[in-house]
Structure 1
């Protein structure tokens, strides 16, 4: 049997739960930074890049589509997933290439070798709190042109393939594009 005191207690608890649900959660430092940085990034995207947000409420997770207009990977469409950790801007974003690619600085599993994504870097080109998302985007885009590095590869097999036979390397890149990176 429900007594008046039990009913009042339940109503009081229901009001308390409703009030707690209405209290907005505290916005993280990362999210405050990202509001400005995402806007800046989108305003300064290279013509070969497009940012894609699957959930506008999660601006810390997005995709970057790169369609190189020159070089070995011209005509391909490469998707990178970018996840900005809670400790951003002290810690760099995590980037993975979702498109299978034959590239000396990107493994077939999608790991990316780019100095500015490293927390600690010998060449002082690694991540620093002064860097922004637009730097990451421009860096990834440059992996298909001027930052392409055959001398310090992550994918050693691809770099050795290039050194052995450039035409065969180019043919394999074209094959990967036709199979995995068609526009």
Structure 2
């Protein structure tokens, strides 16, 4: 675990034992730890993947970057296929993965530019459901999948325009979602 004292020692070019730091030692060790965790978690992910999701690793040698596709079978977005790019940084499992939606959609918790609002993707969360080292990739996948059903949140939106549209005109909201699905996410 990286602590403030370790960071200060690294800045000064020393180790805890007082000797010089090998160039790039900490990042390389942290990357190796992340990759060991991912090897185990990717296997677990495949075993626990929701029926509405699929994962693709564009580069088999890079488990830290993959694409999740969610195909909801119920709700407003049920006719679409939504692609998310997931990038797991070197600080994983102390920090959450970065997630971007590659598919343009009309959703209160996903901005049109691809930003995603999901508590477990935040280091610190007001609702206490933020990232913790005990979380796994399967939790991220299940959370993203649930954004299309039970985690749909109109009360704390990222895309306020979509949330307001829903509050003022549910039929119009549904038509706009259908239009976006037809234009950008049709299966």
TM score, norm. by length of structure 1 = 0.85
- RMSD of aligned residue pairs (Cα, Å): 1.0
Match of 1:148 in 2: 152
Partners of 2:171 and 2:136 lie apart in 1 by 37
Structure 1 segment 141-180 matched on structure 2, within 5 A: 141-180=145-184
Q: 3-state SS of the aligned residue for 2:163?
A: helix
Structure 1 range deviating more: 128-137 or 27-36: 27-36
Match of 2:134 in 1: 130
Q: Which runs of 4+ in 1 moved over 4 A?
A: none
Match of 1:96 in 2: 100
Give 1 or 2 for the bigger CA radius of gyration: 1
Structure 1 segment 62-141 matched on structure 2, within 5 A: 62-141=66-145
Q: Which runs of 5+ in 2 are unaligned?
A: 1-27
Partners of 1:138 and 1:177 lie apart in 2 by 21
- Per-residue Cα deviation, 1:79-124 (whole angstroms, up to 9, x for no partner): 0000000000000000000000000000000000000000011211
> Matched residue pairs, number?
159
Match of 2:7 in 1: none
- Per-residue Cα deviation, 1:129-162 (whole angstroms, up to 9, x for no partner): 0000000000000000000000100000000000
Q: Which runs of 5+ in 1 are unaligned?
A: 1-24
